[in-house]
Structure 1
Amino acid sequence: MSLFVNKKRLVKIGAAVILLLTVQLFVFSPRNTEEQLSQTGEPGALSMVPIEATSDKSQSPIPGADSGDIVRTGGGFKFTQENNNSPVDSLFNLLVETKPKSPPLAKYIHGEKAQQKFSSDPDFHFSEKYLMGLLEIKETTLLDLETQHQHFVDKIRDLPMSIFGDPQKQISGDGIVMVGGGRFSWLALLNINQLRSAGCQLPVEVFIASEQEYERDFCDRLLPALNAKCVLGFEELPLQRYREKLRIDGYQYKSLAIFASGFKRVLLLDADNVVIHNPDILFDWSVFEEYGLVLWPDCWSRTTHPYFYRIADIEVGDHPVRGQFMDRESPDEWNYHDLPGTLPNPASESGMLLVNKEKQVDTLFLSLYYNMFGPSHYYPLLTQGGAGQGDKDTFIAAAYALRKPVYQVKQNMKFLGYHDTYGFHAKALGQWDPTTVAEEKTPPYLSNFYDFQNENDSRLMFMHLSYPKLYPDKLRDEISWEQNGELRHRKLYPGRLPNSAYGFDLRMWELITQLICPQWTPNEAIDAASVEIQDKLTGLDLQYIKNSKGNAECESLFLPHLEYLRRHTSTEEEFYVYE
C-alpha cells in the first residue's frame, strides 16, 4: 500500500497544530466541495485521459484599478508605486502570503541525488522506497508545505481573474510567446524568422523581463516588421516591487510571459526551440480544444518525491496500472510513477507548451506558484536533483493537483545529431507533430522509444537546439575542425527529416548568415532550404551580436560553412541519426 493513500483533511488539520510550534500557520478555508474535481475512466486516470470536472467555476473580472493608478503603455499597463490594489497585485500578494516558511530543500539523506535514467530503461526501478530515500524532508517542513499549498489553492478561487492574465488588458486570439532579453533576443530573432519561413503568420510576443535587457531597436523596429512585438515585464508586472519578497529570475519568466501575454491561446516556445513546419495547425487540433493543455515528453524517468502527492492532496493507488514493471509482484520492482494518481512516465519537457489561458486558468496559477518557489522547494520535490531539474514538470503537476485535463504527446522525443569515431553526439531534441495519424496509432506509456522509420505518417514539428544553442560566437568548434592545417566542416543535423521537404541544417545557416553577414549571396541552386528573408542584417543591430562580435567570422567560417552545406545537400536516401 502506498504510504500516502487517502490522506484525510481532518488528519491534515490536526497535524497542522504541531506546525504552530515551529512555523507561522496561515488560516485557510476548507475546500469547496461543490468545486471538487473528480476524474473519470479507470482508477487513477492517466495524463492522456481527460480528467473531467463535476462542476465548473465561473468568475467575472472585477473592474480595473482606477485609471490614475496606471500608466498606459504600448504593451499594456505600467505599474507605479501607488498602484498596490490591482488584480495583479492580488496575485502577487497571495504568492507572498503563501510562501513556504520552511528552509529550502537542499539536503539529501545519503548525499545522492536521483539517478538519471531514460524512461525506457529496463534495469532500474524508481520504487517508492528508492524515491523516499533521496531528499531529506522533515515533518515540520512537510506540514508547512501542505498548509501553504492548500491555502494558495483555496485562495486562487477568490482571485478576480477569469483568465490567466491581467483583466485590465485585452486578452484574445492565438499567438506564440517566447522569452527574450540579452542574447536570448538573438535566438528569438532567428526563431521568428524560421517561423515565417515555415509559413506561420501567427503574431509573436517576446517577453522582456528587465529594463536592463530591453533594446528599443529590437522592440520598436525589428520585431514589428515580423508581426511580432515585445511585452515588457518590467512595465506590465510589479516585478521590482516584489523582487525582495519573491525570487523572480529565469525559471519564473515562462509563467510570467504567459501571464503577461495578450493571447488567449498560447504556444510557448523556448527561444532555442524552432519549428520545422508551420505550427498553426496545433491550434485547430481537436485534442487541444478538448484538453486546453498539451505538453511534450522528455526522455527521463520521473523522480518525484512521494511526499509531493501528500502536499498536493493527490490520492495515489496501491498497484501499477501502466508501465513495463506493472506485472511484477514486489513493490520494490515497480516504478512508483506507474501507480494510479501519480504523474506518469516519461517526465515532461517545457521547451514548448500549448495552453488555453481561460480553460486552464487555475492550472496556470498553481504552476506559477510551483515556479515561484521552485528553486527552494518544488523543483527538488518534483525531480530530486535528477535530469533537467527546473520548471519542466510544474505544469503537469499543477494540472494533476487540481484534477484538470492535460494531454502529454505520446510519441517520444528524439535525440538528433551525428556519429563520428568517438560515438554519437546529440545536438538537438526533436519533438513530433501530434496532429498526425502516427500520434493516434501510438499507444500510451511506451516502454521503448517509438521508431519513426516504421511509419510514413509521422513528422517532427520542433527542434530544440540545445547542444549547442546557435550563438554565433560559440559555434566554431561545433561546425568545424582542422585536419592537416585545412578547415573541415561538419553538419550538426545531417540528412533530411521524415516528411520534410528541406534540409534543416542548411535552412538554419541560410537564416543565420542573412541576419549577420553582409557578404551573403543567394543560393544558385534551387533548394527548398535556401529561403531568402526580406529584412537582412537585422541581427547586427542586437547588442549581443555587437558585444560578442558575432559576425567576426562571417568570411572565414560562416559563409564557407554555408557553401559547404549548399554543396552537400541532403538526398532522399539520407536520414537523420536518431538515438
Structure 2
Amino acid sequence: MLSRARLIQRLVIFAIFSFLLFVGSQRIPLRSNTVPSAPSAPSPARDSSYERQVQFWKNLHNLLESNSPATDPPERLKKAENVLFDPNANYTRPDLFAISEGDVKQLQQVHQRVVQKIKNDNSSLELVYHRGKRGIVSAAGRKYLPTLVISLRLLRRSGTRFPVEVFIASQEQYDEVVCEQILPTMNAVCIVLSGILGTNVVSRLEPFQLKSFAMLFSSFEQLLWLDASCFPIHDAIEIFQSKPFTHVGLVTWPDFWSSDPSRFFNTIASKPEPPVSERASTDGGQLLISKKTHAKTLLLASYYNYYGETHFYLLLSQSDVGGSDKETYLAAASVLDEPFYAVNEPIRSIGHRNANGHLDSSATVQYSPTEDYKLTNQGINHVKDANAGPIPHAFFLRTSYSKMSPVNLFDPSRNGSEEVSPIRGPDGKPSRAWTAEKETIDSLGGPDVEREYWSHVRWTVCTLEGLQFKDWKDKEGTCQQAKEYFDAVFAPKDRR
C-alpha cells in the first residue's frame, strides 16, 4: 500500500503532466506572414460577431439593391461654384440640376420605401456592435497608410486611449508592415471590408462611399470617425462624455462653404427646404456618433452613399463637383427626425504666406463641441459675430494629404516646384509650414505643436523606409531628407 506522502507525490506529478498536455493541445500557432483572409484583427472569422455581421450585410444589401433609384443621374445645367458660408448674407439656393417630373416621382417612391423599411425593421437591420464600447474609426488605402500612422501617433500623444479600427477596402490595399507590425503597438487593428461586403461591391464603390460602411461595421457603440489625415490635439474622451454628444448622439463640424442641397432632394425626401443660412456645409474629416441613438441614421446614410456617385452626392451638395459622403449623415438624421448638433465655430486654415503674401493653406483646425455648445447656449456665435466673445479651444487638426504626403514632401522635384512646397519659404529654403494665421496657431499651442507633428513625420518616414514599405520601394532617401528638414527647422539653435 502506498504511503500517504508517495500518493500525494504521484497525484502532483499526474496533475502537472495533465496540465502540460492541455497546454500543448492549445498551443497558438506562430504568426503567419500571409495577409488575413477576412476582416478583423486580423481575421473576422475569429470574432463571434462576424457571422452576424455577414447576415446583417445580406439583409442591408438586399434593401439597397432592391431599391435602386432606377433613373438617370440628375442633369447638370450650370457650372458649380463654392460660396463661402455667411449666415448674414442674403442669397438664394442655387438650382443647378434638372430632373424630369417622372424621375422625381420614382425617386420619391423608392426613397419612401427605404425610409419606411429602416423605421419599421428592428430585427433584420439590427447593427452588430459591442454595447457600451467606445473607439476611433478610420479608413485608408495603402498610399494613405503613412499619413494614418502619423495621425495615430499624434492621437496617442494627445492622451486619447480608445482602441482604433482601421478599415481597408480590399486585400490589395492591405499592408503587412503597417497592419501587423506598427498599428498593434498603438492599440489599432486593420479590418478588410471586402471580407464582409464582398469584392464585387467594394470594387465598384469609391473611398468616400465606403466610409459609412466602415462605421456601420465597426465594433463600437460610440465612435469618433477620423480621416487618415485628422487627429485630436486633446484627449477625445472629453467630447464623448459631455454635451452635446451625451444629449443628442450625433455631432458634426462645419466646412468653409454654404450648404446647397438641391430643391429636388427635399421634394424626394418629402421635407421642407431649410434656409440657406441655417448652417454651413459639413466637413468630413471628423464625425461623432452613437449607434444606440442613431443606428437608423447610419442605415439611411449608407443608402445615400451606395447611390452617392450617381444621385445623392449631386442632390445633397450641388457645388461639390467631385462628390463625397460628408452631407449624407445630417441629411439622413433630418429625414428621420433624429437629433444632431452641428458645431457653429467656423473652421480655420493654417499655413504660410507665399511670395505674394497670400496664405498657402496646408491644414485646417476644428474646435471643441463641448465649449461651442456652452457658448451657443449663452448666445455667443462667432459665425454671426466674430467679436462675440471667447472662442472654444482648438480640438482637431487635419492636414492636406495632397500637400503633406510624406513621400512627396521633402524632395522638391517630387512636389512639382519649390514655390508650392509647404515646407519651403519663398526663397526655397526649409521653413516652418505653419506660420499663419498666428492667432489660430497659438490656439493649437504655438510652434511646439508643429515641432511635435514633424517629429512624428520623421519617425514614420524612417520606420517605414527601414521596414521596406511596399509603396516606397523605389523612393529611397526620404528618411534622410526628413531628418535634414527637421534639424534645419526645429533643432535647438545651439545645435545649428
The TM-score with structure 1 as length reference comes to 0.69
Residue equivalent to 1:118? 84
Shift of the 250–403 alpha-carbon distance from structure 1 to 2, 3 Å rule, reads: same
Name the CA distance, whole Å, in 2 between partners of 1:437 and 1:77. Answer: 42
Question: Which amino acid letter does the alignment assign opposite residue 467 of structure 2?
Answer: D
Q: How does 1:171-570 map to 2 (within 5 A)?
A: 172-235=132-195, 237-242=196-201, 247-316=204-273, 336-338=275-277, 344-386=278-320, 389-422=323-356, 423-436=358-371, 439-441=374-376, 443=379, 447-448=383-384, 450=386, 455=390, 458-466=392-400, 468-476=402-410, 477=418, 478-481=421-424, 488-494=429-435, 496-498=441-443, 500=445, 503-517=448-462, 537-538=463-464, 540-541=466-467, 543-547=469-473, 549=475, 552-555=477-480, 557-567=481-491
Name the CA distance, whole Å, in 1 between partners of 2:350 and 2:210. Answer: 27
Secondary structure of residue in 2 paired with 1:395: helix
CA contact 1:182–1:543 (8 Å) conserved in 2: no
Name the CA distance, whole Å, in 1 between partners of 2:147 and 2:139. Answer: 10
Question: Which amino acid letter does the alignment assign opposite residue 67 of structure 2?
Answer: T
Name the CA distance, whole Å, in 1 between partners of 2:142 and 2:181. Answer: 17
Secondary structure of residue in 1 paired with 2:97: coil
C-alpha distance after superposition, 1:247-305 (max 9, x if no partner): 42211221111012111100000001122222221111121011110000111111111
Q: Work out whether 1:160 is the aligned partner of 2:160.
A: no
Secondary structure of residue in 2 paired with 1:366: helix
Secondary structure of residue in 2 paired with 1:265: strand
Q: How does 1:10-49 map to 2 (within 5 A)?
A: none
Residue 565 of structure 1: CA displacement? 2.9
CA contact 1:208–1:233 (8 Å) conserved in 2: yes
Q: Work out whether 1:151 is the aligned partner of 2:77.
A: no
C-alpha distance after superposition, 1:133-154 (max 9, x if no partner): x101111211111111111111
Name the CA distance, whole Å, in 2 between partners of 1:84 and 1:427. Answer: 39
Name the CA distance, whole Å, in 2 between partners of 1:481 and 1:316. Answer: 46
CA contact 1:437–1:458 (8 Å) conserved in 2: yes
Question: Which amino acid letter does the alignment assign opposite residue 123 of structure 2?
Answer: P
Q: Calculate the aligned-residue CA RMSD, in Å.
A: 3.1
Shift of the 438–137 alpha-carbon distance from structure 1 to 2, 3 Å rule, reads: closer
Name the CA distance, whole Å, in 2 between partners of 1:71 and 1:437. Answer: 37
Secondary structure of residue in 2 paired with 1:355: strand
Name the CA distance, whole Å, in 2 between partners of 1:261 and 1:390. Answer: 20
Match of 2:44 among 72, 76, 86: 76
Residue equivalent to 1:92? 61
The TM-score with structure 2 as length reference comes to 0.80
Name the CA distance, whole Å, in 1 between partners of 2:346 and 2:320. Answer: 19
Secondary structure of residue in 1 paired with 2:304: helix
Name the CA distance, whole Å, in 2 between partners of 1:73 and 1:512. Answer: 26
Shift of the 469–451 alpha-carbon distance from structure 1 to 2, 3 Å rule, reads: farther
Secondary structure of residue in 2 paired with 1:231: strand
CA contact 1:98–1:152 (8 Å) conserved in 2: yes
CA contact 1:120–1:449 (8 Å) conserved in 2: no
Match of 2:102 among 131, 140, 153: 140
Name the CA distance, whole Å, in 2 between partners of 1:409 and 1:71. Answer: 33
C-alpha distance after superposition, 1:99-140 (max 9, x if no partner): 1100122x223xx2332111128666124xxx33x1011112
Shift of the 445–303 alpha-carbon distance from structure 1 to 2, 3 Å rule, reads: farther
Residue equivalent to 1:325? none
The gaps in structure 1 that reach 5 residues or longer are: 1-69, 318-335, 339-343, 518-536, 570-579
CA contact 1:410–1:444 (8 Å) conserved in 2: no
Secondary structure of residue in 2 paired with 1:86: helix
Name the CA distance, whole Å, in 1 between partners of 2:111 and 2:229. Answer: 33
Task: Tell which structure's C-alpha radius of gyration is larger.
Answer: 2
Name the CA distance, whole Å, in 1 between partners of 2:425 and 2:403. Answer: 22
Shift of the 540–391 alpha-carbon distance from structure 1 to 2, 3 Å rule, reads: farther
Name the CA distance, whole Å, in 1 between partners of 2:40 and 2:189. Answer: 16
Shift of the 357–450 alpha-carbon distance from structure 1 to 2, 3 Å rule, reads: farther
CA contact 1:364–1:398 (8 Å) conserved in 2: yes
Question: Which amino acid letter does the alignment assign opposite residue 429 of structure 1?
Answer: T
Q: Work out whether 1:102 is the aligned partner of 2:80.
A: no
Question: Which amino acid letter does the alignment assign opposite residue 401 of structure 1?
Answer: V
Name the CA distance, whole Å, in 1 between partners of 2:300 and 2:117. Answer: 11
Residue 204 of structure 1: CA displacement? 0.7
Identity of aligned residues (%): 25
